[in-house]
Structure 1
């Protein structure tokens, strides 16, 4: 028996006992006013946004954002909005999205606990757009606001689409001296609209 085989045999012989999985059937946090909690948490992590009564207010609300007047390259994948001037479907190389100033993209649902919005590649050809744009706007259904991540995980279905993530706040990084930099590794701002 080689030394490698002997080491592996010893490891197999001395495996630690398995630990039981935790019981997830608990009463998880729920908020009396989940919408207020969502906005408070989103603001705490550096994001902004607002609830709108209906979709007809969305275009005007986006145009009021501080980043909108200077945005030259805009990707818009939200149904019913015609603010985009970049056809993301005609772009073959995701590196070409580096010049996008503003991306307005749909979210599937939002989570009050961490101020996050679940997004997938279902409506975008290149998932890099979530990270390459200078400013990100996410539009999520107001009636799909959940209390906590446990509820969110129950909603996730794996397979199609093959990619999804929770986005909460703009890109942030900090060093050991606690110097916080916003937008170093992704969008400099995140605005969420619940409609």
Structure 2
């Protein structure tokens, strides 16, 4: 018996017994009054800034302040006014590289992990949420769901070519066990919850 056969025989002897798959209950009744506070709490744990606003004017004022401050700011959210039409699915990464702040509409927010589903049509270019320095997501407060099971029930993948869950600013701790923010995406995430 060669080494390979010995290893495979040892694995076969020590193989654990099959376990039945757990029952996943997805039709749980949730207390929706706690979803928004839980979502806000998890967002902050993830390193994002969450702001709950009563009307869209607060977000428009923030957008105008960033534009007036000389920051290269991109808006893809129609409710905020003028959308940057020059950004589209064919935009070259070198063209998007100087984008400092990007405003994008979120489709769903997930209370259990603070993730937000972004659809390609709302971001206009799939690089935009990752190449910008600071990401601002506008999310309707009624679009917060309890968990990923409920989120996947509501996501229609066939309608979009691409979508992504974003759960805070980009960060990694792979390098010398030091937390690095903005290593492979936006350095900050601000979420406006719009009532």
Measured after TM superposition, the shift of residue 53 of structure 1 is: 1.0
Calculate the TM-score normalised by the size of structure 2: 0.78
Normalising by structure 1, report the TM-score. Answer: 0.78
Query: Per-residue displacement from partner, 1:66-100 (whole Å, max 9, x unpaired)?
Result: x7765521110111324766731396313310110
Task: Give the length in aligned residue pairs.
Answer: 177
Instruction: Measure the CA separation in 1 of the matches of 2:87 and 2:117.
Output: 20
Unaligned stretches of 5+ residues in structure 1: 1-16
What does 1:1-195 align with in structure 2 at a 5 Å threshold? 22-26=22-26, 30=30, 32-62=33-63, 72-82=71-81, 87-89=86-88, 92-175=91-174, 177-195=176-194
Task: Kindly indicate which of the two structures has a greater share of residues assigned to helix.
Answer: 2
CA spacing shift, 1:187–1:81, aligned 2, 3 Å: same
Distance 2:112 2:82 in 1: 31
Change (3 A) 1:69 1:171: farther
Listed as ranges, the gaps of 5+ residues in structure 2 are 1-16
- How has the CA–CA distance of structure 1 residues 173 and 82 changed in structure 2, closer, same or farther, with 3 Å as cutoff? same
